[in-house]
Chains A and B, each alone.
Chain A
Amino acid sequence: MDSNLNPQLGRRDLLKLGLGASLALSTVGLTASLTGCTSERAAPEFQVLRASDLPLLSALYPVILGPHPALTQHPDAIAQALAQLDYSLAHTSPFVQKAVLDLFGLLSMPLTRGPLTGIWGDMSKASPEQLNTFLLRWRDSRFEMLRQGYNTLSKLLMMSWYALPLSWATTGYPGPPVI
């Protein structure tokens, strides 16, 4: 890593960035705008994600991201990622919100999950190998819907994770300049 880039923007600055973001998330008072789109309401502290989405996503993050050190260094890393993802989804269009929630719903409902992923129990109880196998199956599927589903899962989880300052150290990215 180039030492010229080594923070001045120190770890404290990066944490400040992250703290500011999570403060913003918790104080923004958004009303759910998904009228009729889903029967299950958003989980407490969330604007879009439902209680049934959280265990699924928590299980998927480590598989999609790989063994990122921050997953073990920060006990609340996935909680931060979920909050970031929820914030982003709250700002997308009704169509995108519905499409994403429908996708998550397919994965958390037993009747659809089994046939589509080969995982018949809870996602949170599946092994990393099982989850990896299902993701690859979707990625390489001859069905466009499943390939699109893989891309959506990958994109949402990666973008939310790498928006977090705690994910940056391993990439050599010192963070944004503070003006």
Chain B
Amino acid sequence: MVRAAAVLGHDWLSWSTRYLTDYRIQGNSMPVPDLFLQGVARGWQVIDAASLATDTTLEADVIIIGTGAGGGTSAEILAQRGLKVLLVEEGSLKTSGDFKNNEAQAYAELYQEGAARGTADGGIGILQGRTVGGTTTVNWTSSFRTPDPTLAHWASEHDVKGLDSESMAPWFAQMEERLGVAPWAVPPNANNDVIRQGCEKLDYHWKIIPRNVRGCWNLGYCGSGCPTNAKQSMLVTTIPAALEQGATLVHSARAETLVFEGDRVSEVRCRGMNPTLTAATGSTLRLRGKHVVLAGGAINSPALLLRSKAPDPHARLGKRTFLHPVNMTLGLFDRDINGFYGAPQSVYSDHFQWDQGTTGPMGYKMEVPPMQPSLMSVMMGGLGQESLQRMNGLAQSNLMLALLRDGFHEQSQGGSVALRDNGDPVLDYPLNDYLWDGVRRAYLSMGEIQFAAGAKSVVPTHAHGRESHSWADFQRQVAELSYRIHDVRLASAHVMGGCAMGEDPTRAVTDSRGRHHQLENLSVLDGSLFPTSIGANPQLSVYGLVAKLATGLAAELS
């Protein structure tokens, strides 16, 4: 405790002591208990497919492919209904004892393609999880209900039934309770406070972010896996609950194809992964169940269906995949920001999210990321001396990001998933003028907020980005930037869509209950269901939607 306080500053100590409820910290030598491994030791059925020597067949009532937000949520609900559940996860099992707050290790072990996933033309870098718990194990804990305008848009434009705000409210409430979601009550770190300060000055909307944490230590390393089990990811909540109920978890196994008999899935054919998780070269596993829940997430779920040559009579599979493309601005202050420490996301602004309507020019939500150096070096950009100068200012810098709300306008159709020669998925997401217009306006909004908060200079994350020392000069710079691929630095941490839900089979892959339109015993229960992007960090949208749909499925199956 004392050592941590010395690292993080006295202020952290004084208000963190009021919020640490679940763990008694008795000096540096007491390790945090690894709750998951304790469960395994008590007898949970967990199989490492990478170490299976021979081909194996396993049976269950329900096979759940993927252990992320959708897979975990459905596993708990189905298992609690008395169904025998088998979860299969492509990633490996990493638990709190493995999480060392080490960026490079986390990117290599916990992220899709070692954190090097990107769109086909390289225009957008994609951060997505690949580990037990999926992206929930590595996300930054922000938890928002699906915005009302988004739900209304799905109903009116995408033929989605029964998912209006009133119907969804109890399910969001259930999952908020389940996962400890509450507005972050600890003072925001200085990095987040830039949004608050700037927005206050400009009379822009800002609010505290709700987070799915219990007993959070306010460290800021959510992105490399929570080392204290405070983050209420699927890894420490729903999956343990399902395992307690007798579910089986198979990890380090890629679901390669679904085998069909008529209009039913008869088998999920999987293969064990190699040690670096780059290829499925191990033994074969055949998983048989009465019902299959596909929860591999966007990109991966459509890819599995494509590899399986699943029925797709209207060519909807993989289409309308959305990313909340992110652009950023870097502000330099003459005070310490230390954005690498403290809860990573605690303040947001929706001032420009809906102000031009649901289907007008692209809206965006503004937040900040955690600022650990490896990822930051890429975001800060610059070449040579320019890069070094920016990195030397890391501790006095604030990086702001804008999540652009794609999928609501007819010029925002998103991307489509295809397969590479070896069956790996690839997302082709074209960049167009509608997006560039949003990028330009987001640069302006973020820079304005940073200057209002006292930034001495602001750089847009762009190949030609330079330090502007005044708001006026920044506006000039943004107007003159080249809006083209590879010049504008874009990232994504939210992948959505590709197996869109909706009552019209000519436009959707599943119905409003997540039931595949052509396959009898297949449900898609993950973020690939979304017909558009969400307009907010998507995890709670997946939890709420899947809680509702899985509950319906559980009633039907039991």
A90 within 8 A of B: yes
A84 contacts B104, CB within 8 Å?
yes
B420 within 8 A of A: yes
A88 within 8 A of B: yes
Enumerate chain A residues within 8 angstroms of B4, measured Cβ to Cβ: 177
CB distance from B495 to the nearest CB of A (A): 15
**Residue A163 contacts which of B103, B277, B422 (CB distance < 8 angstroms)?**
B103
A172 contacts B395, CB within 8 Å?
yes
Considering the chains assembled together, what is the distance between the CA atoms of A30 and B275 in angstroms? 7
Contact with A along B86-125 (1 / 0, CB 8 A): 0000000000000011111101110001101100011001
Q: Output the nearest chain B residue to A85 by Cβ-Cβ distance.
A: B104
Considering the chains assembled together, what is the distance between the CA atoms of A63 and B376 in angstroms? 18
Contact with B along A85-104 (1 / 0, CB 8 A): 00111111111110000000
B9 contacts A179, CB within 8 Å?
no
A171 contacts B394, CB within 8 Å?
yes
Considering the chains assembled together, what is the distance between the CA atoms of A5 and B386 in angstroms? 25
Contact with A along B285-298 (1 / 0, CB 8 A): 00000000000000
A154 within 8 A of B: yes
A68 within 8 A of B: yes
CB distance from A92 to the nearest CB of B (A): 4
Enumerate chain B residues within 8 angstroms of A112, measured Cβ to Cβ: none
A167 within 8 A of B: yes
B8 contacts A139, CB within 8 Å?
no
A79 within 8 A of B: no
B24 within 8 A of A: no
A66 touching B114 in the complex, CB below 8 Å, given contacts A21-B105, A179-B31: no
A1 touching B395 in the complex, CB below 8 Å, given contacts A8-B6, A151-B122, A162-B373: yes
Enumerate chain B residues within 8 angstroms of A91, measured Cβ to Cβ: 107-109, 114, 276-278
B114 contacts A162, CB within 8 Å?
no
Interface of B is mostly: loop
Q: Output the nearest chain B residue to A9 by Cβ-Cβ distance.
A: B7
Considering the chains assembled together, what is the distance between the CA atoms of A33 and B401 in angstroms? 37
Considering the chains assembled together, what is the distance between the CA atoms of A163 and B107 in angstroms? 11
Interface residue total, chain B, C-beta cutoff 8 A? 70
Q: How large is the interface on A (under 10, 10 to 19, 20 to 34, 35 or more residues)?
A: 35 or more
B336 within 8 A of A: yes
**Residue B8 contacts which of A88, A177, A178 (CB distance < 8 angstroms)?**
A177
B391 within 8 A of A: yes
Q: Output the nearest chain A residue to B104 by Cβ-Cβ distance.
A: A163
**Residue B377 contacts which of A33, A159, A174 (CB distance < 8 angstroms)?**
A159
Enumerate chain B residues within 8 angstroms of A95, measured Cβ to Cβ: 113, 420, 422, 424, 426
A8 contacts B422, CB within 8 Å?
no
Considering the chains assembled together, what is the distance between the CA atoms of A152 and B340 in angstroms? 24
Which positions 126-178 of chain A face chain B at CB distance < 8 Å? 132, 135-136, 139-140, 144, 147-148, 150-152, 154-155, 158-163, 167-168, 170-174, 176-178
A177 touching B107 in the complex, CB below 8 Å, given contacts A66-B388, A93-B424, A94-B279: no
A56 within 8 A of B: no
A59 within 8 A of B: no
Considering the chains assembled together, what is the distance between the CA atoms of A32 and B32 in angstroms? 36
B102 contacts A21, CB within 8 Å?
yes
A7 within 8 A of B: yes
CB distance from B242 to the nearest CB of A (A): 27
B3 within 8 A of A: yes
CB distance from A77 to the nearest CB of B (A): 14
CB distance from A175 to the nearest CB of B (A): 9
Enumerate chain A residues within 8 angstroms of B388, measured Cβ to Cβ: 65-68, 170
Name the residue in B281, B377, B392 with the highest tally of chain A Cβ atoms < 10 Å from its Cβ. B377
B279 contacts A33, CB within 8 Å?
yes
B122 contacts A93, CB within 8 Å?
no
**Residue A159 contacts which of B104, B340, B384 (CB distance < 8 angstroms)?**
B104
Q: Output the nearest chain B residue to A31 by Cβ-Cβ distance.
A: B274
Enumerate chain B residues within 8 angstroms of A21, measured Cβ to Cβ: 102, 104-105
CB distance from A1 to the nearest CB of B (A): 7
Interface CB pairs A-B, < 8 A, 23: A2-B9, A21-B105, A31-B274, A65-B384, A65-B387, A66-B387, A88-B108, A88-B114, A90-B108, A93-B278, A95-B420, A96-B113, A147-B487, A151-B463, A159-B377, A161-B377, A170-B388, A176-B101, A176-B372, A177-B7, A177-B219, A178-B101, A179-B101
A-B residue pairs, 6 tightest by C-beta: A172-B395, A66-B388, A176-B101, A91-B114, A163-B104, A91-B108
Give 20 A-B pairs besides A147-B463, A147-B485 with Cβ atoms closer than 8 angstroms. Answer: A2-B9, A2-B336, A2-B338, A5-B395, A17-B102, A33-B279, A66-B384, A66-B385, A66-B389, A88-B107, A88-B116, A89-B114, A90-B278, A91-B109, A92-B278, A93-B114, A132-B384, A160-B104, A162-B373, A172-B338
